[in-house]
Structure 1
């Protein structure tokens, strides 16, 4: 005979929590839902006369914060994930009157805007009743989840937008890389080769009249050729590091850690080789993260952990974490470095997460779906 006392104790505990949470949720959310619903309808109704253009963006900003808070409550109290369905803001959204019009158009075209507005009357009626009745609180969470989670069509539309942005970023990155290579060739190796050619031309004129001067200029030309070769090697190494091509991502990350000025403890466990584009993207992403850490974190120690995660949410993936004991405060919004890493990884369905409270420590984690070769 089984003992049902532990189960009964758990159910009693959950009921007591619902007795406290449910009424508190109902009382707190009812006036907010009514107010935001009225303001949303008013903003939409006033669009034709221009007032809604000013009113709609701030109202929707508050509504989205309110809806996100309810999504977090569903996760914390109901154990159900409710992803955000909102489309990303378009690039170059400016301020001023033009910016307000752009925001309005974006909000009106986003299906999540209308789903949020439609959720408000449901929340102030069925949601209010189910929150007041403790046994019905899980129905309340399910209602919120069903109305606030993205639909399949919304997920597909957002994925199409993300792919468009990734393609745009890939084109921009390629163009920027070509410009960098052209600039490095023009300012470095090309200039030295031109100088070497001029020196050799002068040597031809001096070789019979002033052999000593000709010998000196030959030595200078030899020095220029060595420096040009070094610059060409550095340029090629910047395009694709030899250790990455010859020995794979694991050894390339270890070599990268050894070259940094800040002491780095590297723990790398990667099985064999991965597709070359993925290895290159991860390598340069980690290189950028470590460079940012060395420049801005004021850290005395850095930890680099790279592994192959077979149990990643999106399938098997390369996962790399960079942790430092610096001053913290890092975020993709704070500078172009981490934003560039995000764009580079997005081309491979990769993601970047930054946990960096002010005062530290900082942990930057990237994850890129990948399968080993062979």
Structure 2
């Protein structure tokens, strides 16, 4: 009970301090930047000097807005995506470059929404400091009693209440405790309300979200097409250099054996033995190639069985925990399997880990996959092709990859893949073999 009460008090005090910090800091910075923005846009309209002032002022405006978006996500879980249009190609210097930057910034509706947010700074100040003011008023009431005992001449506690006798000071203490409890109770809710109000101003509009979605789909489609083309080239190369070459050699050996079968049966027998070995190697390479395209164990036993079979082939112990109430569609299941396989391959190649863990769950909306290890950490998605390949593979299905890998470890790769599961009744029987 004491632990819950302490946590509740800590949560309320933290929310009130954060609200006060947001209200005051962003109010002061917002008013200054709003005035500078009005001046720069006015100079642009009247004198043209704003060509250089507008970009100069809009950079800190966007930085302040982005900081507010980040704090909303960190403190209240209210995610506010940045709605800005991507920067187009433009001249780096001169009047042409300044004009292009101004046209890009002022032509973006998100810029004007940032300025509207700055204009609403007094309201954000009120929302921010309200919980801190209520908490402070309660604390003041609790501390009134010793104050009055020391200064009997009188003490103003709140509007219209002059405390000039100890009895009134005693009455202020329970009132202060009630007000303090009220302030601690409403502070987290007011902070979330503040962040949701901020999201209405700084978040993307429906049109902006649609434009961003189109840009993301265009990029991921291009990356998927490139990845598929590279995969087709790899398959063609493997077939040409592997199975195809062995089949050509097999045909030549069979032709020579056909010529020698009557003249030199022993030599023909040796050629047939070589042809048999060549056919076995070609068949093995074809099986490996097919396994790389879509593993048979994935089709037969599903994601759970395929990941467990993969884990058994690795040189380190891998603990697999998969709980699914059905099966995803085949393309999604294949993408999930190869993403997990790539993550485990990175563990073996780079992490120097002694153990790894795979966790797969479905929350009703999508597939959540986590691959972690006890290695040295330091994985960087920008530093290699493995993690980028996972991102491209999952992005084709609107999936995401998040990597947490501080120096010294551990490394945790979290992947999410929106999908629905088929009914368990439609699952094929895996048997016991």
1:32 is displaced (CA, Å) by 6.6
Q: Is the 8 A contact 2:127 2:194 kept in 1?
A: yes
Corresponding pairs, count: 355
Aligned with 2:212 (options 135, 158, 163)? 158
52 and 25 in structure 1: CA distance in 2 versus 1, 3 angstrom threshold? same
Q: Which residue of 1 aligns with 2:352?
A: 298
Please state if 1:272 is matched with 2:326: yes
Q: Which residue of 1 aligns with 2:81?
A: 84
Matches within 5 A, 1:5-154: 14=12, 18=16, 22=20, 25-27=23-25, 30-31=28-29, 34-35=32-33, 38=36, 42=40, 56=55, 62-75=60-73, 79=76, 81-86=78-83, 97=92, 104=101, 110-123=108-121, 125-128=122-125, 131=128, 134-135=132-133, 141=195, 143-154=197-208
325 and 55 in structure 1: CA distance in 2 versus 1, 3 angstrom threshold? farther
Please state if 1:373 is matched with 2:370: no
Q: How many Å separate the matches in 2 of 1:210 and 1:149? A: 84
173 and 67 in structure 1: CA distance in 2 versus 1, 3 angstrom threshold? same
SS of residue in 2 equivalent to 1:248: helix
Q: How many Å separate the matches in 1 of 2:244 and 2:72? A: 62
Q: Which residue of 2 aligns with 1:313?
A: none
Please state if 1:322 is matched with 2:371: yes
Q: Which residue of 1 aligns with 2:317?
A: 263
Kindly name which structure, 1 or 2, has the bigger radius of gyration based on alpha carbons: 2
128-137 or 280-289, larger mean C-alpha shift? 128-137
Q: Which residue of 2 aligns with 1:194?
A: 248
95 and 153 in structure 1: CA distance in 2 versus 1, 3 angstrom threshold? closer
319 and 115 in structure 1: CA distance in 2 versus 1, 3 angstrom threshold? same
Q: Which residue of 1 aligns with 2:287?
A: 233
1:345 is displaced (CA, Å) by 1.5
SS of residue in 2 equivalent to 1:348: coil
1:246 is displaced (CA, Å) by 1.2
Please state if 1:168 is matched with 2:222: yes
1:20 is displaced (CA, Å) by 8.2
130 and 309 in structure 1: CA distance in 2 versus 1, 3 angstrom threshold? closer
Q: How many Å separate the matches in 2 of 1:306 and 1:141? A: 32
Q: Is the 8 A contact 1:89 1:106 kept in 2?
A: no
For structure 2, the residue ranges without an aligned partner over 5 or more in a row are 135-189, 424-433
1:231 is displaced (CA, Å) by 0.5
Q: Which residue of 1 aligns with 2:398?
A: 349
Q: How many Å separate the matches in 2 of 1:12 and 1:194? A: 76
Q: How many Å separate the matches in 1 of 2:244 and 2:38? A: 62
Q: How many Å separate the matches in 2 of 1:349 and 1:12? A: 38
Q: Is the 8 A contact 2:23 2:126 kept in 1?
A: no
SS of residue in 2 equivalent to 1:352: strand
For structure 1, the residue ranges without an aligned partner over 5 or more in a row are 1-5, 311-315
Q: Is the 8 A contact 1:36 1:59 kept in 2?
A: no
Q: How many Å separate the matches in 2 of 1:12 and 1:178? A: 58
1:140 is displaced (CA, Å) by 5.5
SS of residue in 2 equivalent to 1:204: helix
106 and 207 in structure 1: CA distance in 2 versus 1, 3 angstrom threshold? farther
Q: How many Å separate the matches in 1 of 2:361 and 2:334? A: 16
Q: How many Å separate the matches in 2 of 1:326 and 1:37? A: 52
23 and 194 in structure 1: CA distance in 2 versus 1, 3 angstrom threshold? closer
Q: How many Å separate the matches in 2 of 1:61 and 1:40? A: 14
Q: Which residue of 2 aligns with 1:214?
A: 268
Q: Which residue of 1 aligns with 2:235?
A: 181
Q: Is the 8 A contact 2:339 2:390 kept in 1?
A: yes
1:85 is displaced (CA, Å) by 2.8
1:70 is displaced (CA, Å) by 1.5
276 and 30 in structure 1: CA distance in 2 versus 1, 3 angstrom threshold? same
Please state if 1:248 is matched with 2:297: no
208 and 330 in structure 1: CA distance in 2 versus 1, 3 angstrom threshold? same
Q: Alpha carbon RMSD of aligned pairs, Å?
A: 4.0
Q: How many Å separate the matches in 2 of 1:17 and 1:306? A: 34
Q: How many Å separate the matches in 2 of 1:41 and 1:198? A: 84
1:230 is displaced (CA, Å) by 0.6
Structure 1 length-normalised TM: 0.78
Q: Which residue of 1 aligns with 2:141?
A: none
Structure 2 length-normalised TM: 0.69
